[in-house]
């Protein structure tokens, strides 16, 4: 274990024993959670035990329960499944089985359990806890343990972490394994879309989710599927005709493929299952389309966990150990959950009961309540999908004068969308979302090519609903983007805005590799890799990348370091090479220090480690900006762009009366925490005069390093009313 400064000075696990097990279905990221529990436990001087094969190993005891070491969890982070095994145990459901499990734990002094599994596994753990004192009394009476042992181990503390690819547990925004499963699904969908387009086929994809439609819903949102069927909200009667009509209209607009996603537990309003084969037969019978079915099955559970799942599981594992250390005999069992961006603790059984309420609502055919019980995130995903997947008939969409006379709820304006700065995965998903939501709101949408430079040259064209079909999965920027600032083109940009009567502007932009490198290092004894990441003066990529890859060190701008720190890290790696782990990984943010460059660190490590290890360096560069966007980036871009256009529509309608713009808001606050090149919080102070555009705008950031004058972005280009939102 590395000799480093304690971050939890007041917490000590000395004399405590922690058991960690995985139970139920496996999920990517479970190994990361196990690793975090083991290393955090050892960090606070507690003993940590692997309980192999879940509850079955606890019941059987013996070699199934082994003490873990710091090195025993090395290289687990990037592995899928669960290294310590998982099994469904019928014996643990019996009193006799739990009695044997209690005996095995008491013999090793284990009174703290960290259970990683689904709601069934966590419910079983809570039952075990409530019976604990009675089980010990029974063991004393039968002479299997003495009274002193019963007193010493009188309380059993339980902390749960939800490992489930279905994201079917209430109380947490995401469960361990969900994001990785979405990656598997999207990889398959992206591959299928190419062959479907070639042959003008319709594909019906069945994904997991017997009781929860999260995977189906979010993957449909991420790939722009034509139709999705989930158990929480079955389609209305007559859905067959509606679906076929929508597929037919899509083909008439020029689409060469259709994607339908079906959750394995999909049902209709009467509780009758809707199978993927039934959907296929319907499409073939009604439309005659060449249709194929793909059932993804257990491929969704397999493979390497995503960066998100590794980080989520690691943070949850650390919080679980802290919860066990702080628990008292009266502390109820808790579950570590994700709320926003924080790992929090919630009462275990309250969350289990909430989860059971969802199924109860579905059984009672109260589907709207079931959707609400799933949580705000699920409901928002569903509403966004509905907004983007269905195009209103032209008769329902307000246009120009007619809409504006109709009042603030049905106004039509000209809204332009452009990309600026460096390309980023998810930009195209955001543009697609903005265009379709804008059209739904009744606006005329314009696309600006090549950022502000293209804006000044008049590269502005109307963009329609069908023009953005298939954009969600595309990397880079299909509109084109340049770093050119508009400072020298303000007059030309203003003229183009007058010509096209632009009322609002949406600006989208901003000012897996480590695993492969680790695998290379693992195949070569005693090698250390120095990796340079992007990020400018923001260390987000380096820090999170280091956490996700299990790096030995990360050098970032926000955390100053000295030559002594570098020397300490070299010494740590030298000692590490004497163990069974003979490889190292170091990440460096590109602008972390102007003197301690990547070359300098590489040469220092090479010289100081001479004879012990050799070094390699790798500058990842622009490959970090390339490739297809992840499911998270697709959905994030889609949802924030939809919110942005709705906000713009609201402001345009609010300040437009009888053909005149009344005023600008005196103060608008927009906050964005973005892991982009410059991670800042943006605050816009807008001062106005009558109906003119902003006369003065200032940008404040959380760092002083990157202060930008907003006039460079062309926000003060003309005496026209302009609502601008930067994503």
Phi, psi of 693 (to 5 degrees): -70, 175
Distance CA 348, CA 115 (A): 11
N-to-C CA span, the chain: 43
Whether the Cβ atoms of residue 678 and residue 685 lie closer than 8 Å to each other: no
Distance CA 487, CA 483 (A): 12
Tokens of 546: 């280091």
Q: Say how far residue 249 (Cα) sits from the centre of its chain.
A: 33
Distance CA 615, CA 566 (A): 15
Name the pairing type of β-strands 342-347 and 291-295: unpaired
Q: Which of 26, 166, 168, 515 is catalytic?
A: 166
Whether the Cβ atoms of residue 214 and residue 168 lie closer than 8 Å to each other: yes
Tokens of 2: 């590395």
User: 3-class DSSP state for residue 421?
Assistant: strand
Cβ burial of 525 (10 Å; 0-12, 13-18, 19+) is: exposed
- Residue 552 annotated in active site: no
Give the DSSP letter of residue 713: G
Tokens of 281: 């037969």
Residues counted in the chain: 727
Give the angle 158-160-116 at the CA atoms, nearest 5°.
Answer: 120
Q: To which residue do tokens 């680790």 refer?
A: 518
Distance CA 129, CA 141 (A): 19
Strand partners, 510: 421
Q: Nearest Cα to 166, choosing from 130, 117, 215?
A: 215
Q: Nearest Cα to 56, choosing from 94, 28, 112?
A: 94
Q: Nearest Cα to 88, choosing from 24, 164, 160?
A: 24
**Long-range contacts: 576-579, Cβ < 8 Å, 24+?**
576/2, 576/552, 577/526, 577/612, 577/613, 579/71
Distance CA 409, CA 555 (A): 52
Q: Nearest Cα to 619, choosing from 515, 527, 528, 529?
A: 529
Whether the Cβ atoms of residue 279 and residue 267 lie closer than 8 Å to each other: no
Phi, psi of 366 (to 5 degrees): -95, 75
Q: Nearest Cα to 691, choosing from 669, 659, 724?
A: 659
Tokens of 521: 């290092």
Q: Which residue numbers are catalytic? A: 166
């Amino acid at each position: 274990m590395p000799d480093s400064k304690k971050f939890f000075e007041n917490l000590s696990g000395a004399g405590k024993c922690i058991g960690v097990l995985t139970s139920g279905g496996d999920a990517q990221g479970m190994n990361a959670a196990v690793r975090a529990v083991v290393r955090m436990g050892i960090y606070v001087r507690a003993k940590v035990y692997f309980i192999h094969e879940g509850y079955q190993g606890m019941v059987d005891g013996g070699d199934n329960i082994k003490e873990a070491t710091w090195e025993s969890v090395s290289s687990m982070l990037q592995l899928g499944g669960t290294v310590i095994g998982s099994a469904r145990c019928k014996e643990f459901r019996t009193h006799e089985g739990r009695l044997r499990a209690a005996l095995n734990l008491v013999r090793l002094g284990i009174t703290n359990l960290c259970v990683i599994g689904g709601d069934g596994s966590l419910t079983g753990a809570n039952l075990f806890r409530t019976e604990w004192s009675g089980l010990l009394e029974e063991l004393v009476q039968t002479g299997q343990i003495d009274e002193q042992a019963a007193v010493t181990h009188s309380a059993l503390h339980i902390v749960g972490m939800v490992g489930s690819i279905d994201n079917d547990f209430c109380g947490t925004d995401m469960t361990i394994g969900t994001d990785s499963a979405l990656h598997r699904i999207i990889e398959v969908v992206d591959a299928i879309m190419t062959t479907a387009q070639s042959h003008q086929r319709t594909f019906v994809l069945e994904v997991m989710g017997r009781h929860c439609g999260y995977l189906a819903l979010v993957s449909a949102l991420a790939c722009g599927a034509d139709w999705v069927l989930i158990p929480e909200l079955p389609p209305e009667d007559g859905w067959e005709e509606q679906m076929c009509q929508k597929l037919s209209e899509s083909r008439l607009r020029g689409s060469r493929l259709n994607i339908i996603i079906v959750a394995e537990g999909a049902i209709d309003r009467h509780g009758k299952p809707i199978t993927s084969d039934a959907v296929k037969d319907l499409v073939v019978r009604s439309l005659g389309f060449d249709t194929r079915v793909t059932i993804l099955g257990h491929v969704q559970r397999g493979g390497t966990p995503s960066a998100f799942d590794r980080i989520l599981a690691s943070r949850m594992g650390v919080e679980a150990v802290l919860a066990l250390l702080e628990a008292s005999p009266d502390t109820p069992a808790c579950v570590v959950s994700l709320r926003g961006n924080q790992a929090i603790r919630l009462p275990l059984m309250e969350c289990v009961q909430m989860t059971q309420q969802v199924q109860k609502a579905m059984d009672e055919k109260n589907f709207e309540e079931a959707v609400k019980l799933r949580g705000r995130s699920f409901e928002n995903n569903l509403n966004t999908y509905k907004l983007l997947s269905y195009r209103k008939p032209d008769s329902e969409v307000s246009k120009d004068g007619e809409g504006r006379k109709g009042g603030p709820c049905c106004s039509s304006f000209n809204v332009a969308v452009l990309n600026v700065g460096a390309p980023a995965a998810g930009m195209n998903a955001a543009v697609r979302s903005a265009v379709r939501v804008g059209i739904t709101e009744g606006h005329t949408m314009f696309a600006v090519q090549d950022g502000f430079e293209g804006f000044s040259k008049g590269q502005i064209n109307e963009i329609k609903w069908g023009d953005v079909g298939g954009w969600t999965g595309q990397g880079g920027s299909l509109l084109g983007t340049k770093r050119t600032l508009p400072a020298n083109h303000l007059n030309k940009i203003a003229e183009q805005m007058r010509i096209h009567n632009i009322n609002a502007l949406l600006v989208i932009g901003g000012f897996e590799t480590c695993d492969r490198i680790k695998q290379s290092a693992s195949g070569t004894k005693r090698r250390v890799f120095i990796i340079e990441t992007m990020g400018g003066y923001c260390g987000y990529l380096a820090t999170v990348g280091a956490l996700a890859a299990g790096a030995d060190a990360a050098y970032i701008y926000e955390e100053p370091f000295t030559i002594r720190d570098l020397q300490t890290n070299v010494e740590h790696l030298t000692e590490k090479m004497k163990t069974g782990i003979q490889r190292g990984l170091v990440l460096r943010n590109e602008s972390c220090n102007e003197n301690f460059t990547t070359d300098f660190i590489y040469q220092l490590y090479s010289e100081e480690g001479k004879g012990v290890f050799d070094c390699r360096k790798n500058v990842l560069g622009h490959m970090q900006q390339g490739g297809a966007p992840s499911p998270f980036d697709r959905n994030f871009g889609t949802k924030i762009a939809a919110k942005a256009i709705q906000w713009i529509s609201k402001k345009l309608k609010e300040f437009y009366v009888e053909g005149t713009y009344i005023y600008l808001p005196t103060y608008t606050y927009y906050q964005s925490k973005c892991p982009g090149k410059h991670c800042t919080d943006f605050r816009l102070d807008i001062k106005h005069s009558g109906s003119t555009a902003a006369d003065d705008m200032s940008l404040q950031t959380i760092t002083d390093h990157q202060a930008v004058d907003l006039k460079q972005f062309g926000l003060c280009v003309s005496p026209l009313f302009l609502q601008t939102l930067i994503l």
